[in-house]
Structure 1
Amino acid sequence: MISRLLVSIVSLLFLSACNTSESGKNWTHFRGSEMNGHANVETAPLNWSDSANIVWKVPVEEKGWSSPVVFGDQIWLTSASDDGTEFYTLCFDFESGELLNKQTVFTCDDPQRIHSTNSYATPTPCIDGNFVYVHYGTFGTACINTDNFEVEWKREDLKAEHMQGPASSPILHENMLILHLEGTENPYVVALDKKTGETIWKSVRPADIYDPLEPVYRKSYQTPIVIEADGRELLISNAAFMCFAHDVNTGEVVWTIEYGYDSTVSQPLYWNGLVFVNSGWIFLDNVPYFTRQFAIDPTGEGDVTETHVKWMYEDEVPQIPTPVIVDGNMYMVHDRGMVTCLDAMTGEPIWKEKLRGNFNASPIYAAGNIYFFNVKGDCTIIKPGESFQKVAENSIGETVKAVPVFVRDRMILRTDKNLYMIGN
């Protein structure tokens, strides 16, 4: 009996190690394969510059703020022309950086305008091995075969008035590709069959709540997550004005909370039975004043604003960067550089520290440290803990808005001009 138990334990440990090893080889979504900002690597670069510890560097044509995704020996990016008339995919070889394929997936004769800080290729692709899924908001969504680079299917009929350009990234769940197209008119969420591109379900935000809002207050740019609560799979979507929890298999709205108005960007988080969502801008006297971070018990039904919100925090909460939770503490960097460490269960602040510059990229936890990249390409690396502990500072000297990718003990970094593979 004891020997069988030992064999079982050893087998479980081996399988766990294999799973961790495999997950550390690929990076399949925005903010990682588990979309929690954690990289499954044992070591990660601590020192680099634009010339030191660079394994390879290749130019990235045109413009895009999307982050890379990695599967096997391929790195995928999206890009677009500055004027929004052409939308591209780029595939690079992992080891050499060689450009394996570039193709124009969509074109547009009369593109919508975008915000000056956005791009026409901001949504990050997602990938599941033989297929990569690229999304440019209202301009199109496509599935591409990673073996032969052929387009398997396209959708150009999923429209939205983004107002400031597309930004929500697609996610994969089971047989579905889930997209958010939440513009100024009839914002909605849609689940597609990832093999065919056909619509499985579509959920439009409730007209009785959204129609009375000014159009500018209906838009959002966030990327959802899927969690399990009380045995039910929920799609957590922090839309403009309110957060929705959908039954991910049907699109049915299970619960909502109401928090405010405009332009949610930061992605939800899930840890230790709580959902953490960002409100986007809260307006006072018609002026964007601040954003709020909420912790929610996800087991309710209906309007749970008064019953299931566990805490709310509003002091220098970021609008764009998504926080990361490590060992029960939430680390978030405000768009203007203030880093706050909160107790994730209570919302109580533990420490604050100001970093230089402005921030768009979300922090990533890799090999025991947290990496914060500002827009100018400066990176501050800290050790998570009960006080601010700086480990290193580095600069790539180029604009960084994409999330850094950590796989196979290396870092892949997209800037406004280049794609870098950085080693130790």
Structure 2
Amino acid sequence: MNIDPFCRCLIVLAIALTTATFGAEQWSQFRGSHGDGIANVSQAPTRWSETENVVWKTPIAGKGWSSPVVADGKVWMTTAIEEEASEEERLATLERLVENPRRFGEFRLAKAITLQLIAVDLATGSQVLEIDLVRLDQPDPIHTINSYASPTPVIDGDNIYCHFGTFGTICVDRKKGVEVWRKTLPLEHGVGPGSSPFIFKNALILICDGMDQQYVTALDKATGESLWRTERPPLDAASGEQKKSYDTPIAIVDAAGREQVICMGPQWLVAYDPVDGSEIWKLRHGKGFSVVPRPVYGDGTVYISTGYGKPQLWAVRVDGSGDVTDTHVAWIEKKGIPAKPSPLLLGHELYVVSDDGIASCFDAASGELVWKERVGGKYSASPILAAGKIYLCSHEGKVTVFKPGREFTLLSENQLDGQLMASPAALDDYLLIRSDTALYRIAE
């Protein structure tokens, strides 16, 4: 077939623009490229099932609760291939590591694990890469609801940074599929790793709140060498169980132009100078521990959930210095607050879903309850917003979709097979949802 030169140029340009647009799509870290659960898209699906509006479904080997991240037409995830321990091996290990036999039922143990990074082609759903990163015999036990691959990787340029807590932190060149560097930071997690890595300029920042030690550190993202390490404020907990935590940092610039890396942890919320790790301000939030929800920020205020114990939602102004416990708390809410899912801030409204399925909307400025609705199910995944719709993914495989606003408006409830623990991703006109056994691309 002959094509005149002008038409040929138009075709080439169209292909180039399509490729550039597709390649530019990115969801680079836990809760999206801005870390706040908000997707900048104009379309997103409302209704689907196992047999409706599934572009592809790809089985994922092993177990991992890390969320999918996306760049250059590939979806990246970590997973753990486990060799099951016998009941005798499990009991022997728990007797050695866990003081209270009544807690044995809370723990899961593998005889050996292989921690992997995998890549899935965004267009076809085919798995295109599998890299073994860590092989470990007799790993520490983890909680039954956790996985050995729960922290979400972060993409920065050609590299992807995979963090497995005490089991290792590995930088991988995505283009070449080869390791760039690795670092091991031993830590007693208690119930397994959970904090996701965070990139700020030249630094990979890690929250390391274990039972045995608690600190925040920055590594040179190019080499893995230490840039700084700052110990957490003193804790008055009676045991390491109340000293551990699993949060992920955020970075802000306050009204005075100060860059802050905000790191939620047990008992304390702390803002650090990203250059040297020095404390800018800190706030004592009480006895909360095992904190999972990532903070969100807007209009000079950071919003946190205080984690396990009795979760509370706090609004804290970020313009202080030193200990601001008595001066910078805007409001506190104590009812219906999540211990695991992160909050979602949209303008003047703050949305949360509790672990046991109570969705709430609060006025962000005053903390006043706007509405509360039981959506049902158990929740670990954090909510996201895409194209004017909020998505909640439950352990039971149900995804509830509703409209943001001063009234609760349900749009749909969608059921998938399997368990949903990872937070979803939204790009262009589709969702990526990871279950305990598969990755879905959903589009209408």
TM-score (norm. length: structure 1):
0.91
Partner SS for 1:46: coil
Kept in 2, the 8 Å contact 1:383–1:390? The answer is yes
Kept in 2, the 8 Å contact 1:242–1:279? The answer is no
Residue number in structure 2 paired with 1:423: 443
Kindly state the Cα deviation for residue 81 of structure 1 after the two structures are TM-superposed.
Answer: 2.4
Kindly state the Cα deviation for residue 124 of structure 1 after the two structures are TM-superposed.
Answer: 0.2
Residue number in structure 2 paired with 1:257: 283
Residue number in structure 1 paired with 2:76: 76
1:347-367 deviation digits (Å, cap 9, x = unpaired): 110010001111111110000
1:150 aligns with 2:178: yes
Q: Provide runs of 4+ in structure 1 moved above 6 Å.
A: 21-24
Residue number in structure 1 paired with 2:128: 100
Unaligned stretches of 5+ in structure 1? 1-20, 282-287
1:170 aligns with 2:197: yes
Partner SS for 2:166: helix
For the residues of structure 2 that align with 1:277 and 1:342, how far apart are their CA atoms? 13
> Matches of residues 210-225 of structure 1 in structure 2 within 5 Å?
210=235, 213-225=238-250
Kindly state the Cα deviation for residue 86 of structure 1 after the two structures are TM-superposed.
Answer: 1.4
For the residues of structure 2 that align with 1:152 and 1:365, how far apart are their CA atoms? 34
For the residues of structure 2 that align with 1:50 and 1:137, how far apart are their CA atoms? 34
Unaligned stretches of 5+ in structure 2? 1-20, 83-109
For the residues of structure 1 that align with 2:128 and 2:238, how far apart are their CA atoms? 47
Residue number in structure 2 paired with 1:277: 304
For the residues of structure 1 that align with 2:53 and 2:66, how far apart are their CA atoms? 24
1:338 aligns with 2:358: yes
The amino acid that maps onto 2:430 is R
Residue number in structure 1 paired with 2:156: 128
Kindly state the Cα deviation for residue 324 of structure 1 after the two structures are TM-superposed.
Answer: 0.5
> Matches of residues 23-38 of structure 1 in structure 2 within 5 Å?
25-38=25-38
For the residues of structure 1 that align with 2:173 and 2:24, how far apart are their CA atoms? 23
Residue number in structure 1 paired with 2:91: none
For the residues of structure 1 that align with 2:237 and 2:410, how far apart are their CA atoms? 48
For the residues of structure 1 that align with 2:24 and 2:215, how far apart are their CA atoms? 33
> Matches of residues 307-346 of structure 1 in structure 2 within 5 Å?
307-346=327-366
Kept in 2, the 8 Å contact 1:125–1:169? The answer is yes
Residue number in structure 1 paired with 2:94: none
For the residues of structure 2 that align with 1:381 and 1:280, how far apart are their CA atoms? 25
The amino acid that maps onto 2:173 is N
Kindly state the Cα deviation for residue 231 of structure 1 after the two structures are TM-superposed.
Answer: 1.1
For the residues of structure 1 that align with 2:225 and 2:121, how far apart are their CA atoms? 31
Kept in 1, the 8 Å contact 2:50–2:416? The answer is yes
Partner SS for 2:137: coil
Partner SS for 1:234: strand
Residue number in structure 2 paired with 1:112: 140
Kept in 2, the 8 Å contact 1:71–1:129? The answer is no
For the residues of structure 2 that align with 1:25 and 1:42, how far apart are their CA atoms? 13
1:227 aligns with 2:255: no
Identity in percent: 39
TM-score (norm. length: structure 2):
0.87
Kept in 2, the 8 Å contact 1:141–1:154? The answer is yes
For the residues of structure 2 that align with 1:356 and 1:367, how far apart are their CA atoms? 24
1:223-270 deviation digits (Å, cap 9, x = unpaired): 110111121111111101111111111110111111123111111110
For the residues of structure 1 that align with 2:23 and 2:269, how far apart are their CA atoms? 30
The amino acid that maps onto 2:398 is D
The amino acid that maps onto 2:63 is K
Residue number in structure 2 paired with 1:161: 188
Kindly state the Cα deviation for residue 24 of structure 1 after the two structures are TM-superposed.
Answer: 7.7
Kindly state the Cα deviation for residue 397 of structure 1 after the two structures are TM-superposed.
Answer: 2.1
Residue number in structure 2 paired with 1:10: none
Q: CA RMSD in A?
A: 1.4
Kindly state the Cα deviation for residue 90 of structure 1 after the two structures are TM-superposed.
Answer: 0.4
For the residues of structure 2 that align with 1:400 and 1:45, how far apart are their CA atoms? 18
Partner SS for 1:81: strand
Kindly state the Cα deviation for residue 23 of structure 1 after the two structures are TM-superposed.
Answer: 11
For the residues of structure 1 that align with 2:408 and 2:211, how far apart are their CA atoms? 41
Partner SS for 2:306: strand
1:204 aligns with 2:224: no
Kindly state the Cα deviation for residue 212 of structure 1 after the two structures are TM-superposed.
Answer: 5.8
The amino acid that maps onto 2:278 is E
The amino acid that maps onto 2:116 is Y
1:359 aligns with 2:385: no
Kindly state the Cα deviation for residue 327 of structure 1 after the two structures are TM-superposed.
Answer: 2.7
1:248-304 deviation digits (Å, cap 9, x = unpaired): 1111011111112311111111011101111112xxxxxx3x211111111111110
Larger Rg: 2
1:184 aligns with 2:211: yes
For the residues of structure 1 that align with 2:236 and 2:356, how far apart are their CA atoms? 33
For the residues of structure 1 that align with 2:221 and 2:126, how far apart are their CA atoms? 28
Kept in 2, the 8 Å contact 1:256–1:303? The answer is yes
Kept in 1, the 8 Å contact 2:23–2:72? The answer is no
